[in-house]
Structure 1
């Protein structure tokens, strides 16, 4: 039997524009119009379900009009794609510009509470600069609660107190900016602030535009008081703070400027370390601090279990510093500052800058401690490797974890915290820290005495650490430990010779 080997197509047709094309036909249609041909699997046949379809040759005839329209469409699509891509890239850049490192500066609440005015704040800013603190990174001056009138104006806007801020908030921020500093403002996620001034609930977009665009603030601290009834808000903690976060992002997109720095102040409720990174750059991890050791120790204890959550662009906020308040001893203030800095918390001064002592300034200006907080390479915080007095992972407000370590740009950082009521020696094996290598020796730099203290092999002991005092060390790899150092394993568990002999130590 003779087989026809050429593909089969339907006859040419013309459309209304004059373009010729061959249409697709089924096997049944093809045979009906060609009854004399035998059945065969011709090249080009496609079988779909029970029907066989034949390929068709498509012939397009372009008129000048269709050519112009096609080219125009391609150009328009390319321009639109470029515009969208640039917009997304610009927004990503803006978001990446904010809050990579912990912010540093001053907040009015601890020292002044509601007794604030523009003179106090501007004088504080000038003193921060004249004391040399701006040179050490303290560049935010933040206004806390009580700066506004008790009610909004007829247009629904928050109004700065005419008595306390007669020159207006724009004058305040302009002056702060002229000093080379940034300005922070305060609001609340509820109906009112904690002192019952207007909050931002249901006014998020209006307020963030006012704070950032009209008043010129660079940071927003956002509190957790005056929560609306459930039947009104229909949100949990995450949703309540998402409202302002979304408003901040929208304002950034509209203005083309980086978003305002967003500091969530919701006291560690509902585990913000799990979700707040998506909303802002810092989140309070505990309740409010007060200037007593029991408060400092309690905050360290709570954060010992969640310090892993801190990294670039998002961190646990341990609350404001109490450096400069007399209820804490010098050693307690050093411990307080070291723990906050090494856990990468924001560092906000909260004392009267006109009366600050040289002792307090020496703590706040410790450049080696600040360098850990502001490390440009490592954003993670220190974590405990041994609790010390208590079994590991023990919750104890008065005696938190004592032995901590972490990575840094220049080596391994160690914090030894004496939580006892008397001086004590503190000893640890180097390899208890996960960042130390076995079989190596390490140079030891004391970040409070600013001295190099020789080389540590296998272990280190800090002598007579003061009551509630701290030792802050930077360990740098100095090469192999001396040959023949015994015991053969610094960690005794399952120490074994290559011949299979287990080594008892």
Structure 2
């Protein structure tokens, strides 16, 4: 559907949901995955060309490249790991050639490296590549995945499970999209109770068609908000744009999933890759690397290992995303897939986070007044930490300008309160509109 239609539908749905007397669905606080998951996913680099060697190699690179040390702990297998048919007893069967040693052996080796293992299935009859899905086998499959030793489940939406293919649930379970995903969520919860083991981390891959940010938080750790990402700036910018209107939905135990990281893939420039990673991290999306780690460059590896950015993603005191305070190129609240919102801010336990994105094809200065962010106090000065140069850049008083930001580049800042602003910093009001003295006269400079 068109961007305006999607935005209007989202706004109306949100108004309807929050205006009802019934309580709003809360994020599922089940003791697992309070923070966005960090790890690796096989799909973008390998698609169906996976086997146990590929998966274990990715796990070993996560350790040897130091990714696990900075928080990347999950190694997730995507589609195509199974035989085309279930066993005579009804179970999914791992491909006997590509995973000849068995899934238990695979997850044992992953766990021995101090990592966690993830698996994939689908809410329909089949997966997106037409391997067995979990429809009407949710409890059976959840138990199988746990018995295999997996910790995480990505649950897709293909083969008769989407808005555009409404069968089979209309005629069999007579449920909409919420009820269909609830089947696996219930199976996971029931299994945790009966087994005494932690529940599988449940990642819903519903593509955003039916606004999962409004309902999926009661079921799982994360929910996809868009279609699949592509390894190019146009795709990255479009996903940032779409998520700018729903950034409010992310908090502890529930996260907008902006899809797999393409850092090091395709046509992304170095500055575009930095923007991609920064936006995903500061918007509290899961960070799942989709690159062939055997060929990743040092500069792209450094992007993924930026510990100051990761600290915002993994903040265990503040779970909310940065949100736009000014769109910049466009009037506020206007959807534009090529020029998303440029000026963002949010809270963290260590200060106010700012993200500035140059959506132009040429360098640009990005200027803002500090109090445009709701998290900044008037009449105060703020120390400025650049989260990419890793430098302390003095103090900001009232305004800040990032100079010559590269095309499609990003600036990430952490501002900390440094006390009252210096005397004579300017007019009595940082923003002059309706700046009135106690006697009712306009203040100087207003």
TM-score w.r.t. the length of structure 1 is 0.80
Q: Deviations over 1:130-189 (max 9, x none)?
A: 000000101000000000000000100000000100000000000000000000000000
Mapped contact 1:95–1:258 kept (Cα < 8 A): no
Shift of 1:498: 1.5
Q: 1:153 aligns with which of 75, 79, 87?
A: 87
Mapped contact 1:95–1:259 kept (Cα < 8 A): no
Shift of 1:258: 1.5
Q: 2:128 aligns with which of 173, 187, 194?
A: 194
Alignment of 1:22-421 (within 5 A): 96-212=30-146, 214-227=147-160, 228-229=167-168, 230-421=170-361
Shift of 1:96: 3.4
Mapped contact 2:232–2:266 kept (Cα < 8 A): no
Shift of 1:486: 1.4
Mapped contact 1:307–1:381 kept (Cα < 8 A): yes
Q: Which has the higher contact order (CA 8 A, sep 6+)?
A: 2
Shift of 1:326: 4.1
CA distance in 2, matches of 1:102, 1:484: 44
Structure 2 unmatched runs, 5+: 1-27, 161-166
Q: Deviations over 1:183-226 (max 9, x none)?
A: 000000000000000000000000000001x1010000000001
Q: Deviations over 1:354-409 (max 9, x none)?
A: 11110110100000000000001100000000000100001000000000000001
CA distance in 2, matches of 1:475, 1:390: 26
CA distance in 2, matches of 1:457, 1:99: 38
1:499 pairs with 2:439: yes
Q: Deviations over 1:386-436 (max 9, x none)?
A: 000100001000000000000001000000000001000010000000000
Mapped contact 1:169–1:215 kept (Cα < 8 A): yes
Q: Paired residue for 1:460?
A: 400
Shift of 1:499: 1.9
Shift of 1:232: 2.4
TM-score w.r.t. the length of structure 2 is 0.91
Shift of 1:236: 1.0
CA distance in 2, matches of 1:217, 1:492: 58
Shift of 1:493: 2.1
Shift of 1:95: 5.3
Mapped contact 2:39–2:289 kept (Cα < 8 A): yes
Shift of 1:485: 2.1
Q: Per the alignment, in what secondary structure is the counterpart of residue 427 of structure 1?
A: strand
Q: Alignment RMSD, CA only?
A: 1.0
1:478 pairs with 2:412: no
Q: Paired residue for 2:5?
A: none
Shift of 1:273: 0.7
Q: Deviations over 1:267-323 (max 9, x none)?
A: 012111111010101000111001010000000000000000000000100000000
Q: Per the alignment, in what secondary structure is the counterpart of residue 232 of structure 1?
A: coil
CA distance in 1, matches of 2:29, 2:261: 27
Structure 1 unmatched runs, 5+: 1-93
Q: Deviations over 1:243-287 (max 9, x none)?
A: 000000000010112110000001012111111010101000111
Q: Per the alignment, in what secondary structure is the counterpart of residue 172 of structure 2?
A: helix
Cα distance change on mapping 1:430 and 1:95 into 2, 3 Å: closer
CA distance in 2, matches of 1:296, 1:407: 24
CA distance in 1, matches of 2:181, 2:343: 35
Structure 1 residue runs of 4+, over 6 Å off?
none
Shift of 1:501: 1.4
CA distance in 2, matches of 1:95, 1:412: 26
Q: Per the alignment, in what secondary structure is the counterpart of residue 186 of structure 1?
A: strand
Q: Per the alignment, in what secondary structure is the counterpart of residue 414 of structure 1?
A: strand
